[in-house]
Amino acid sequence: MMKVAVARTPRMGIAAGLIAVLAASVSLAPLAASQNGKPIAVTPPGGAPVSFADLIERVSPAVVSVQVTTEMKPAERNSAFNPFRGLPGFDEYEDEFGDDAEPSPDEGREGEALGSGFFISSAGYIVTNHHVVENAREVTVTLKNGDQLEAQIVGSDEQTDLAVLKVKKSGSYPFVEFATRAKPRVGDWVVAVGNPFGLGGTATAGIVSADGRELLGGNYNDFIQIDAPINRGNSGGPTFNLNGEVIGVNTAIFSDTGGGSVGIGFAIEANAVKQIAETLIRDGKVVRGWLGVEIQSMNQRLADAWSLKTPNGAIVRSVTSGGPAEASGIKRGDIIISVNGEEVKDNRQLTQRVGSLLAGSTNNFRVIRDGKEQTVRVTVRARDDRALATTDLDPARADMKPPRPGPDDVKVAGGTIRSLTAEEIKKFDVGAAGAGLIVVTVEPRGSLARSDIFPGDAILEINNKAVKSPKDYQDAVAAAIVAGKRDVIARVGCGNQERCGDLTVLRPIEIAAAG
């Protein structure tokens, strides 16, 4: 199975400080391809390097190796949180702590980990990864000239996997700047410098192979994909453009062996790193804004069903009782399209926008409600990730079984439905008035199945209107057909599924044809 792993560094017996400089000789010839019967010619750029040696020599004094001594109790080893754990195919490299002997429950384990980092100011502030210094007891950095300096952790942020250190020895240190004026383009040359496998000062070169990558668990980051080889120990190290500016912090690698790089790595984008680093230096921690909503991304079918011009925005599928959104007047079904004038393309971008807001600040949220745009002023609060983190279903829902067919079932396209019973109304929490239909059966290739609706799910609304009976459902579909709509939007409550409250799209013509 193909695996991807966050680049982490185990204990190494190799002394840091060995320098491996990559001088890449590059020769570019004009490229030709055929398009519409005519060749496309690409002239090599005048600035194409014949060697990266000058660049590496200039920036490498700002890059450091990070050695960490850790101490953890056995019970803590598996509970420590990292935002990149649990990625499908992304196996976190776990450090080896202590010897093979099992310690007593109260005995701590000591281990070592290696990573990379780089100076961002002459005062001695260093950026690295959170997972490099996680559970650190002592931190030492090794400079290019071999000097070893003690460092302290200024602040660390699990959600972005970033941390800031500061060397304890006063002095003026060589540092590098972030490339914040323009984002790198796919195809741009990049050079990564770091401490892979304890071989400090190693440089590798390649190009930006993709941008805007989304990794599960990295909701607050935009990742740049690079093909400059990075390996275990490169974590926290910089990737440079040809101007010697940092375009990203190396964080994860793709690996089919669970070990070495196969040439695909991921770096946290420079603008995000700069913002988090400045916050950690100023405050020692990152306090994110909290809106108090559950959201889902817009897509083209939802946009078409709502007659929207673009499939951009984040749909509010539920509003937390007593939260900032409820207090400001944001409602379920609102489509948030911008925050303080910055466009929101999807739910991930809304999470980033809100997470960057200061707790207690009042902000302008542009929403679409009932087809019309309006601005809602929202005062966000501090986010409590521990209080909000829960993956458990309501116990009453978790033990629900798909309903058995009965005489009250009504045939529709793709399956059968009926009104919720009094007991089911309580389990689906649809209100005292009692609304909603339960899906009894689903045909394998019918419209319900194509919309990822399963037996035991509840259809709570059609086009933002509650449905209490199969007749309400059929009337809503008929009204959509009369209005010339190809799709209707259904709000689905979960049975034993985890996507409670999702909006999904049904094709009303297919439903009507089932008669």
Residue pair 171/151 in contact by the 8 Å Cβ criterion: no
Contacts of 266 (CB under 8 A, 6+ apart): 213, 215, 223, 224, 225, 226, 250, 251, 252, 253, 254
**What are 141's strand-pairing partners?**
66, 149
Cα 340 from Cα 58, distance rounded (Å): 40
Q: Which residue has the tokens 């980990």?
A: 113
Instruction: Tell which residue, 146, 37, 135, has the closest CA to residue 94.
Output: 135
Cα 373 from Cα 9, distance rounded (Å): 50
Other Cβ atoms within 10 Å of 22 Cβ, number: 17
Q: Let me know how long the chain is.
A: 515
Assess whether 161 carries a catalytic annotation: yes
Contacts of 45 (CB under 8 A, 6+ apart): none
Cα 335 from Cα 369, distance rounded (Å): 7
**φ and ψ of 96, to 5 deg:** -90, 120
CA neighbours closer than 13 Å in the CB half-sphere of residue 437: 29
Cα 275 from Cα 450, distance rounded (Å): 42
Residue pair 365/293 in contact by the 8 Å Cβ criterion: no
Assess whether 130 carries a catalytic annotation: no
Cα 492 from Cα 7, distance rounded (Å): 39
Cα 383 from Cα 321, distance rounded (Å): 15
**What are 336's strand-pairing partners?**
314, 367
Of 60, 65, 116, 235, the active-site residue reads: 235
Q: Which residue has the tokens 């007659």?
A: 307
Give the residue ranges of DSSP H helices in 67-145: 74-77, 130-133
Instruction: Tell which residue, 262, 212, 266, has the closest CA to residue 2.
Output: 262
Cα 349 from Cα 72, distance rounded (Å): 35
**Taking CA 326 as the corner, what is the angle to CA 325 and CA 329, rounded to the nearest 5 degrees?**
85
Of 60, 95, 116, 131, the active-site residue reads: 131
Q: Give burial (CB, 10 Å; 0-12/13-18/19+) of 1.
A: exposed
Cα 45 from Cα 2, distance rounded (Å): 36
Residue pair 118/178 in contact by the 8 Å Cβ criterion: no
**What are 375's strand-pairing partners?**
366
Of 95, 161, 227, 457, the active-site residue reads: 161
Q: Which residues are catalytic?
A: 131, 161, 235
